[in-house]
Every structure is written in structure tokens, then in C-alpha cells.
Structure 1
Amino acid sequence: MNIIRKWLDKIIEVFGCCLIIVMVAIACWQVVSRYIFNAPSTFSEEFLRFSLVWLSVIGIAYVAGKHEHISLTLLLDKCPRKLAVGWNIVIQTVFILFAVYIMIIGGWRVSATAMMQISPSLQISMGKVYYALPLSGVLTIIYCLLNIFDMLKGAPPGKTQAAEPVHEIEGDRHD
């Protein structure tokens, strides 16, 4: 299970970092083209808007997977461990239900409805832009299932454990 989490984390991290780099470059190009060349870029604003949608929605799955979403834990921190684990499993189940009904089913319907609508500057189907919702829903479900599995094993949810313990090298000890 750790391998799945590590691969998903790495893929989303690389995707997010690359997308941010491209977004910064295009935003800089938009400023340069508008104020220096006096010829505003026609595609940049639309690309940045769509990229921000993808980055935000995929980020939802990533944060849910890391178990770093916003939460109020004042009472939960004072509960017995078994009760806290049970409640966290309930929360993960609610996330799964939300991902299924809102992100996957709702996102798929919105994508299908908007498939024939074409964006003005980029000339791409708006349905493809909205594919971020079902994709993020699937990723959220995978992460929530991994979190539940971790909690049932007694491990903290969203944290990958090292595959093998770190061993001290005899020459590195500084006593």
C-alpha cells in the first residue's frame, strides 16, 4: 500500500510543480506581451484559469491523501484512541461518498454537458477542462481507502512509512 501512495504522491507532486512552473511562465509572458510589446496574449488568461482549476481540484485529492485537510480536532484529541480511529474512518467514508456523488458523478455530468462547448481562445472542449473533477474524485477515493487501511493497521493516516529501517554506520557515530 505504501508503494501505491508513494507513486500517487510523486505523480501529483510532479504534475503540480510542472503546472505551476508553466503557469508562472505564461503569466510572465502575459505581462511582457501586454506592457512591453503592447500586444496582449490571447490564450494566456484562459490557460491560466483552466490550469488553476486543474491544480486546485487535483490538490484536493493530494491534501486528502496526506490527511492535511482543514479539521477541528479539539474534541477528537481528547478521545480514546479507538474512538478517534473510528471517527476518522467515518470521516474518510464521508469523503468517499462526496467524491463518488459530487466529484465523479456530478463532474462526469458537467463534463458531458459541456463537451460541445468550445473555449474561445484555446479552442478546446470545456468538457475536457471539467474532467479534473472526476479524476480528482477517483484519486480522492484511492487516498481515502489507503488512509482507512493505514488507520486499521494502527499507522497514522496519510504518512508513508520507510520501506526499511535506517541503520547506523559504525564509523558515523559521534559519541
Structure 2
Amino acid sequence: MQDVPNSHEHDEAPKNRLDRWIIKISHALSLLFIFTVFISFYEVLMRYVFDAPTTWVHETASFVGGSLFVIGGIYAFATDKHVRVVLIYDAVSAKTRRVLNMVHHIVGLAFSLMMAWASYTMTKTAWFTPWGEFRLETSGSYFNPPYPALLKALIFIIFCILSVQFILHIIYEIKSLRSNKDV
């Protein structure tokens, strides 16, 4: 029996330069997972072999892992690996999939813009005091890094990028619907 290619296999290819850029940067950043493994191993070694636990490893590994998780959202969208109801999506025609994509992108754009605004307000309070003085929010631990402020800023940046991604994907779907062909 011959393999029949998936009818929407082309959907998995990046649709624009921003998606290609996100994929390339995300692949490079994924190496930071190895960094977290190494520093976690270092912590275990220091704690249990030398009885000298670190003050920085846990928070640093959590920050790096959390940052990569946030970046994973735009990566999933760029590679078209985001969540969808495939039972319905795979059962409809290519044109209906494009319409479903449009609905998804419009709702997603509204969501990402609202989240960008919410994350902006969180970032603003994490970076500035109520009277406007620059001050990065810290973790409050003995190590006390500014990871909370940095992560909030990253979340804001990611939601801004996600909003641009949705706009570019909407443009792509409009062009696909107008051309009435499988792009």
C-alpha cells in the first residue's frame, strides 16, 4: 500500500520570514536546556558530594526553563504545531480549513493583544516603582536575582511577537482564500 501524504502537510512549513526567524532562534535557544541540565547536575554534585549547596542554581534553572517554555508558544505557532481539534480539522476540505484558520487567527489575535496589554502592565510594575523610579523586581531569595522582572518583560515581548505572527498568518490566509488554491 502506498503512503498517502497528509492533505495539509504544507501547513507545517513556515509561512513567512518571522516564522522562519522564530524557528531558527528557537532551535539555537533550545540548547539552553542542556545548560539547565549541567547546572542542575552541578547543584546535585555540590549539595550531596561536597555538602556545599548553591544559592543560584534552582532559580536560574527555573528562569531559563520558564523562559524557554514561553518562547515555545511562538515556536509552536510558527511550526503549526499548536493545539487544534484535529478530529474536525482533518475531516474538512482545504478551503474549510483555511476558514477555520482565519477564525483561529482572528480570535488568537484578539487574545494575544489583550495578553500583551496585561503583560505590559505587569512588566511596568516589575520594572518601575509607582512613582516612576527604575527598579527591577527581584525574587526575594538569598540570591535575589531580577528574574521575575526579566521573565515578565519576556512574556510581554513574546505576546507582541505573537500578535505580529497572527497578523501575518491572517494575511497569508486571506491570500490563500483569494487565490482559492492549496498554497
TM-score interval (norm. to shorter): 0.7 to 0.9
RMSD (Å), alpha carbons: 2.3
Matched-pair contact (CA < 8 Å) for 1:65–1:140: no
1:37 to 50, 53, 56: 50
Matching residue of 2:121: 109
The gaps in structure 1 that reach 5 residues or longer are 156-160, 162-175
Identity of matched residues, %: 23
Deviations 1:133-153 (A, max 9, x none): 112112222333343344344
| Conserved? CA contact 1:111–1:126, under 8 Å | no
State the alpha-carbon separation in 1 of the partners of residues 18 and 147 from structure 2. 32
Q: Which moved more, 1:108-117 or 1:60-69?
A: 108-117
Partner in structure 2 of residue 85 of structure 1? 98
1:14-163 aligned within 5 A: 14-17=28-31, 19-102=32-115, 104-115=116-127, 116=135, 117-119=137-139, 120=141, 121-124=143-146, 126-154=148-176
Cα distance per residue 1:114-144 (max 9 Å; x no partner) = 2343223143263222112112112222333
Q: Deviations over 1:2-59 (max 9, x none)?
A: 4433222111221222x21211111111111111110111000111111121111110
Partner of residue 9, structure 1: 23
Closer/same/farther in 2, CA of residues 52 and 59 from structure 1, 3 Å limit: same
Deviations along 1:61-117, one digit per CA (max 9) or x if unpaired, are 110111111221212322233222111111012222211111x11111112222343
3-state DSSP class of the match of 1:68?
coil
Unaligned runs of 5+ in 2: 1-14, 128-134, 178-182
Aligned length: 154
